[in-house]
Amino acid sequence: MSNAPVPIRIGYCLSLTGPLAGNSQSARLAHDIWREDVNSRGGLLGRPVEFVCYDDRADASLVPGIYKWLMDEDKVDLVIGGYGTNSLLPAMPLIMQRQRFFVGLMGLGVNNTLAYPNYFAMIPTGPDPNAALTEGFFELAAAQTPRPSSVALVSADAEFSRNPILGAKANAAKYGFRIVYEATYPLTTEDFAPVIDAVAESGCDLLFLCSYLEDSIGLVHAIHAHAFRPKMVGAGMIGPQNTAVKTTLGPLLNGFVNYEYWVPVPKMMFPGVQEFLDTYRARASDAGVDLLGHYMAPLAYAQMQVVAQAVEATGGFDDVSLSAYTRSTTFHTVMGAVRFGANGEWAEPRVLQVQFQGIQGHEAGQFQNGSRQIVVSPPDLTSVGFSFPYTTD
């Protein structure tokens, strides 16, 4: 008989195919690097770690069955949350029924109404996640001269976009912008010219977009080709953070303003993040994932650091103990110090707005040091000046 320790099995799902595959595959590589790192140091509680990960194909209807299988058939020791609202929210009823400890990755406001005490969100949007995601966009717009006065809200017809749109409406009211147009489009949309035609008819000053990866590309092309020019555009796009989207669009991104969670500026070079990203980038090309990993990878690695610290501190996998510890502790991660607050969100928000400037051509290396995505909010992280109004020149 072998005396080798029994592996710890951690189960979850990711959207490894479908419209979120690019970001999910980046998270998967970050998780694998964490697993190799922790196993090289002897594992958790002296046991090696294994992942059991299924592809939910960005189909929310598959998620409950996956988690039931993980717990009942695979009998994993721990479950963690996958990427985004579309994978997290449908898992919550079963997670709550089983009273499981659950650390999710980047879902926005998943626990706002559920208030499940054992849920924790690895996303730096803080206790008011819907508004925090894009408040910097509206605050920045309100400070411009001449001051914009109106906004159009355009979003994909998907679960992930509902909370950002609620936040955009709250921010519009807070900063005194009139909503003059609101529309959704199917994720299957290929021709975005009619969408932008309708926006142009509204005459909006600000164009708020909430999109996935492929539709972000379609929207940017359509905006660039159209004669209408809003004064600011972007804010809530899930796409321009991804290196493949950046390199596909190249200079067409110049002038867009959008949220980010981590960029390579001095104040965000937290202990361990550069070493981790060096490892990630050395493997990204062969793995066929985002070459730089700025968006997904640090948060995915930090997600596992939180889980590991809780397991080591409590000495096991008791969901109640893990949750109580996580609610009361500051975690030290590659995303810096993280403490959880109301509804399992970060106690303090740390969302950036960046503006794309000076992009030339389609080479990925120009995005590595942050010089092409300038932090324009919050003020303590800003550097080069903000360019207003939006122009394609």
Cα–Cα dist 270/382, whole Å: 17
- DSSP symbol at 334: T
Handedness of CA 127, 133, 137, 140 (dihedral sign): positive
CATH (residue range 130-260+357-381): 3.40.50.2300
pLDDT digits (tens, 9 = 90+) for 215-245: 999 999 999 999 999 999 999 999 999 999 9
Name 55's bridge partners: 14
* Angle of CA points 29, 35, 38, to nearest 5°: 140
Query: Angle, nearest 10°, between helix axes 273-287 and 297-314?
Result: 120
Is there a shared CATH topology between the 8-124+269-344 domain and the 130-260+357-381 domain?
yes
Residue 382 corresponds to which tokens in the numbers above? 């800003």
pLDDT at 237: 96
Q: Are 162 and 153 contacting, i.e. CB atoms less than 8 angstroms apart?
A: no
Which pLDDT score, from 0 to 100, does residue 158 have?
85
pLDDT by residue (tens digit) across 110-131? 999 999 999 999 999 999 999 9
Give tens-digit pLDDT for 149-202. 999 999 999 887 889 999 999 999 999 999 999 999 998 999 999 999 999 999
pTM for the whole structure = 0.93
CA 299 – CA 276 distance, rounded (Å): 11
Give the dihedral of Cα atoms 351, 357, 358, 362; nearest 10 deg.
70
User: 8-124+269-344 adopts what CATH topology?
Assistant: Rossmann fold (3.40.50)
The alpha carbon torsion through 371, 373, 376, 377 (nearest 10 deg) reads: -120
The SS3 assignment for 375 reads: strand
C-alpha 115/C-alpha 113 separation (Å) is 6
How many Å is the Cα radius of gyration of the chain? Answer: 21
pLDDT for residue 201: 98
Contact 370, 389 (CB under 8 A): no
Helix (H) or strand (E) holding 129: helix 129-132
Query: What local confidence, expressed as pLDDT, does residue 1 receive?
Result: 52
Residues of the chain below pLDDT 70? 1-2
Q: Compute how many other C-beta atoms are within 10 angstroms of the C-beta atom of residue 267.
A: 10
Is residue 27 within 8 A of residue 56, CB to CB? The reply is no
**Nearest C-alpha neighbor of 55 from the set 27, 81, 100, 18:** 18
Residues 81 and 12: beta-carbon distance below 8 Å: yes
Q: How far is CA 100 from the centre of its chain?
A: 23
CB half-sphere exposure, 26, CA atoms < 13 A: 22
Please report, as a single letter, which amino acid is at residue 232: M
**What integer pLDDT is reported at residue 20 of this predicted model?**
86
Sign of CA dihedral 317, 97, 323, 68: positive
Domain boundaries, the chain: 8-124+269-344, 130-260+357-381
In the prediction, which pLDDT does 19 show?
85
What span, in angstroms and rounded, lies between the C-alpha atoms of 105 and 168?
22
Phi, psi of 218 (to 5 degrees): -65, -40
pLDDT at 134: 94
d(CA 332, CA 345): 16
Q: Cα separation of 361 and 295, whole Å?
A: 21
Quick one: pLDDT at residue 101? 98
